[in-house]
DNA sequence: CTGAAAGCGCTTACAG
DNA sequence: CTGAAAGCGCTTACAG
């Protein structure tokens, strides 16, 4: 027995899809296709009686508009393109879900592009997705190629930038200050009187670097910045890597008193490694994470972290984009959602 | 300063998009649009000289084909639709990435639909996405509404089912036997002589239930099945939930000797909770997880788990789908990729 | 409030 | 190997 019926697919005798079209609906409702189109879209004024008949006919036939035809005729799709650097990071999933929750009820399809922290890949995705004539663009951060920047500008498609803030540039952005978050992390660790503080960051995307910069600034201000205690690697962030880097740092600098990790998973790895080797947290070394993933509060000891508003970022970025699409007036382009220091047991 | 230039978007004076079209490319290359189309798609035989001229012209103009027009004319999109029950679970992300890696180089766009473990949501997604005339469908498991099943069948779009196997149904599926995986888990725990064994599952999607069933069968066969030790909850799986359920089970049944968790994150929560309360793993209770997430081997103690081939599932499901799309002969519809028991410190 | 005509940007089917 | 004509299924712009 063959596993798949391909009757329709192989039927090349006609150029039609075989699905009911607007014409079918119109005929069945006894109106012209234009009226059917208007009734279904709820635009223009169609007599309520007719509109109802059309909707009924559409429902009876199981009519679903062909998005390709619609996009071609109106030169507008119902697509929103979201570009994120990673799906492996739980953080972006939560943002994506929030975006979907505001777009979907409005009939907008969310196309997700993952550029794997690669500027070139982002540029390619942009080129491809722009061909789909999206209604709007939701982008992550500001670190992209010149040519990507130009494409966005030239497309005229409304765009909102998520995660970081870029005051002054005039771009619409929803997020929080990565630099200030890094500073807050440092200040928290300094408050306990610790001086030998380290930063461990991976992936080295712009936001990780910015967090590091804020951290550095605060330490410099406190007069205790030591470049040797800044551990940066381009390797992707993971629990395993966190443990490895933690071990190495303690081996080379046993006197470290506190570590700020650019990501929670890195910090998880450190906590686990500490446990394995009997290193007492926070007595010997304080540990502070970033993002406050759902599992962080269940770590042993419970991980202190900086909670970031990634769900709210998704929601507000999506709503802002909707405003731009609908030409609604917007007060200020920059929307700062802040962050929250969660002090638990590890620091 | 307004944040967004909307010149093009607001230009309603013409019905065109302003982007270069096939016609522009053809004119610039001095050929007819059909020839340009053929040259760009690499179909039919176009004299190499002309083809090269066309490609050059397209590159010069920065031409990108309009997918809507293409889909409308050819009644075939370049879309592959993938429907997964969750993005929160790292597992599906890995599968998605693998799918993307085989589809993208072939010019196919992967549309991701997340139905949040809801049959109704999956049915809606299917209805919407089918309107996009996808080239193929990649679906998760077999648990769906009758009407979703009919839509798939009626659409004639080739489909491959991922994760579980369904021998005999004739559907193309790539995965492993969830039941046998559950049995293997039970047998492993039994081998150490432990008899009072529990299963803790959350979310209660079909695969979690199937794992439980396999587990139950094996215990019944060994004559030590106790329904009181089967803990099932529809709540979504998480580290926090794992700890909570673990604590409750030990409180009500202190004599439990081993626990199989339907998901690694649940098991992580248990390990952490055990550590917090000084419960020795595996001496007092053995713990076995499922999926073998990347962080599992770094837990304390290192988590034993059943490793599932989610990346390979994505790769092979995608390749199988490509075969179906291209009408290549397929030997057997069922592709069993198996699973692997990873015995570490927790069991 | 409703509709006939034209067009969106491609590809198909048919010629040559 | 190349092209003129027609058409995919919608919506726009223009009438009435």
pLDDT in tens, A22-45: 999 999 999 989 999 999 988 777
pLDDT above 50 for A11:
no
**B158 interface with A at CB cutoff 8 Å:** yes
Averaged pLDDT for residues A123-149: 94
Between these two residues, B259 and A6, which has the higher pLDDT value? B259
Q: What is the pLDDT of residues A58-102, one digit of tens each?
A: 999 989 899 899 999 988 888 999 999 999 989 999 999 999 999
pLDDT above 60 for B164:
yes
Q: What is the pLDDT of residues B16-25, one digit of tens each?
A: 777 889 999 9
Q: Do A269 and B295 lie within an 8 Å CB cutoff?
A: yes
Classify residue A12 as exposed, middle or buried by CB count within 10 Å of its CB (0-12, 13-18, 19+). exposed
**A20 interface with B at CB cutoff 8 Å:** no
Of B249, B237, B323, residue with least CA distance to B287: B249
pLDDT above 90 for A7:
no
Whole-number pLDDT of residue B219 = 97
**A124 interface with B at CB cutoff 8 Å:** no
Whole-number pLDDT of residue A62 = 87
**Could you count the other beta carbons within 10 Å of the beta carbon of residue A142?**
16
Report the phi/psi class of residue B83: left, alpha or beta, with left for phi > 0 and alpha for psi in -120 to 50. beta
The mean pLDDT value of chain A amounts to 92
pLDDT above 70 for B31:
yes
The mean pLDDT value of chain B amounts to 92
Of A39, A111, A45, residue with least CA distance to A78: A111
**A269 interface with B at CB cutoff 8 Å:** yes
Strand B334-336 and strand B173-175: pairing? parallel
pLDDT above 80 for B12:
no
Q: Do B132 and A67 lie within an 8 Å CB cutoff?
A: yes
What residues have CB less than 8 Å from B342, skipping those under 6 apart? B292, B296, B297, B304, B305, B306, B307
Whole-angstrom Cα distance, residue B232 to residue B228? 11
| Contact criterion met (CB below 8 Å) for A172 and A142 | no
Question: How far B217 CA sits from the closest chain A CA (Å)?
Answer: 30
Whole-number pLDDT of residue A6 = 34
pLDDT above 80 for A345:
yes
**B289 interface with A at CB cutoff 8 Å:** no
Q: Report the percent of chain A where pLDDT is more than 70.
A: 95
Whole-number pLDDT of residue B42 = 83
Q: Which of B96, B272, B300 sits opposite A87 (nearest CB)?
A: B96
Q: Do B4 and A297 lie within an 8 Å CB cutoff?
A: no
Q: Which of A69, A238, A300 sits opposite B294 (nearest CB)?
A: A238
Whole-number pLDDT of residue B14 = 62
Of A137, A129, A131, A183, residue with least CA distance to A162: A137
Averaged pLDDT for residues A216-235: 97
Q: What is the pLDDT of residues A253-304, one digit of tens each?
A: 999 999 999 999 999 999 999 999 999 999 999 999 999 999 999 999 999 9
Question: How far A225 CA sits from the closest chain B CA (Å)?
Answer: 31
Classify residue A59 as exposed, middle or buried by CB count within 10 Å of its CB (0-12, 13-18, 19+). exposed
| Contact criterion met (CB below 8 Å) for A197 and A189 | yes
Residues of A in contact with B277 (CB under 8 A): none
Q: What is the pLDDT of residues B106-143, one digit of tens each?
A: 989 899 999 999 999 999 999 989 988 899 999 999 99
Of A143, A94, A113, residue with least CA distance to A308: A94
Whole-number pLDDT of residue A45 = 76
**B326 interface with A at CB cutoff 8 Å:** no
Whole-angstrom Cα distance, residue A171 to residue A166? 7
In chain D, which nucleotides are within 7 Å of a protein Cβ? 1-5, 7-13
Backbone torsions φ then ψ of B160, nearest 5 degrees: -125, 135
Averaged pLDDT for residues B288-297: 97
Quick one: closest CA in B to A334, which residue? B3
Nearest residue (Cα to C1') for D1?
B46
Interface test mutation site (partner A, options B1, B2, B4, B7, max chain A beta carbons within 10 A): B4
Averaged pLDDT for residues A222-247: 97
Averaged pLDDT for residues B290-301: 97
Whole-number pLDDT of residue A25 = 92
Q: Do A238 and B327 lie within an 8 Å CB cutoff?
A: no
Would you mind telling me the total number of residues written for chain B in this entry?
Answer: 347
B53 CA to C5 C1' distance (Å):
37
Question: How far B224 CA sits from the closest chain A CA (Å)?
Answer: 33
Whole-number pLDDT of residue A277 = 96
Least confident among A7-16, A152-161, A308-317, B151-160: A7-16
| H or E stretch at B83 | strand B79-84
Residues 78-117 of B with CB under 8 A from A: 87-88, 90, 93, 96-97, 100, 109, 111-112, 114
Whole-number pLDDT of residue A15 = 66
- Angle, CA of B132, B133 and B134, to the nearest 5°: 95
Q: Do A272 and B299 lie within an 8 Å CB cutoff?
A: yes
Averaged pLDDT for residues B229-240: 97
Strands (E), chain A: 79-84, 109-114, 136-140, 159-163, 173-175, 197-202, 230-233, 258-261, 286-291, 304-307, 334-336, 340-342
- Listing DSSP states for B268-334 in one string gives HHHHHHHHHTT--TTTT-EEEEEE--TTGGGSSSPPEEEE--HHHHHHHHHHHHHHHHTT---S-SE
Least confident among A82-91, A289-298, B38-47, B67-76: B38-47
Nearest residue (Cα to C1') for C9?
B69
This prediction has a pTM of 0.91
Of B85, B141, B82, B75, residue with least CA distance to B321: B82
| Nearest nucleotide to A32, CA against C1' atoms | C3
Between these two residues, A237 and A168, which has the higher pLDDT value? A237
Whole-angstrom Cα distance, residue A241 to residue B295? 10
Whole-number pLDDT of residue B281 = 96
Q: Tokens 């490793």 sit at which residue?
A: B307
Q: What is the pLDDT of residues B203-234, one digit of tens each?
A: 999 999 999 999 999 999 999 999 999 999 99
């Amino acid at each position: 027995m063959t596993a798949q019926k391909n009757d329709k697919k192989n039927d090349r005798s006609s150029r039609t899809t075989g699905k009911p079209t607007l014409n079918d609906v119109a005929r069945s409702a006894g109106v012209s296709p234009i009226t059917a189109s208007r009734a279904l879209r709820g635009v223009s004024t169609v007599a309520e009686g007719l509109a109802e008949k059309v909707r009924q006919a559409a429902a009876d036939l199981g009519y679903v508009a062909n998005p390709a035809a619609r996009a071609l005729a109106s030169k507008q799709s119902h697509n929103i393109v979201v570009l994120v650097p990673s799906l492996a990071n739980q953080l972006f999933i939560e943002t994506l879900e929030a975006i979907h929750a505001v777009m979907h009820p409005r009939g907008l399809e969310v196309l997700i592009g993952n550029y794997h922290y690669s500027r070139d890949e982002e540029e390619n995705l942009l080129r491809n997705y722009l061909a789909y004539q999206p209604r709007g663009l939701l982008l992550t951060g500001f670190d992209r190629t010149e040519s990507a920047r130009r494409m966005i500008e030239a497309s005229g498609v409304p765009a909102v930038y998520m995660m970081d803030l870029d005051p002054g540039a005039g771009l619409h952005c929803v997020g929080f200050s990565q630099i200030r978050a890094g500073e807050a992390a440092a200040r928290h660790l300094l408050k306990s009187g610790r001086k030998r503080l380290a930063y461990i960051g991976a992936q080295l995307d712009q936001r990780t670097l910015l967090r590091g910069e804020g951290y550095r600034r605060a330490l410099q201000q406190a007069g205790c910045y030591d470049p040797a205690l800044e551990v940066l690697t381009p390797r992707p962030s993971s629990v395993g890597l966190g443990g490895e880097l933690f071990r190495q740092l303690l081996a080379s600098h046993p006197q470290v008193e506190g570590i700020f990790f650019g990501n929670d998973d890195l910090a998880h790895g450190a906590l686990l490694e500490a446990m394995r080797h009997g290193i007492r947290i926070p007595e010997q070394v304080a540990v502070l994470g970033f993002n406050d993933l759902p599992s962080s509060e269940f770590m042993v000891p419970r991980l202190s972290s900086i909670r970031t508003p990634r769900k709210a970022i998704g929601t507000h970025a999506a709503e802002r984009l909707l405003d731009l699409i609908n030409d609604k007036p917007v007060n200020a382009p920059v929307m700062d959602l802040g962050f929250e220091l969660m002090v638990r047991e590890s620091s």
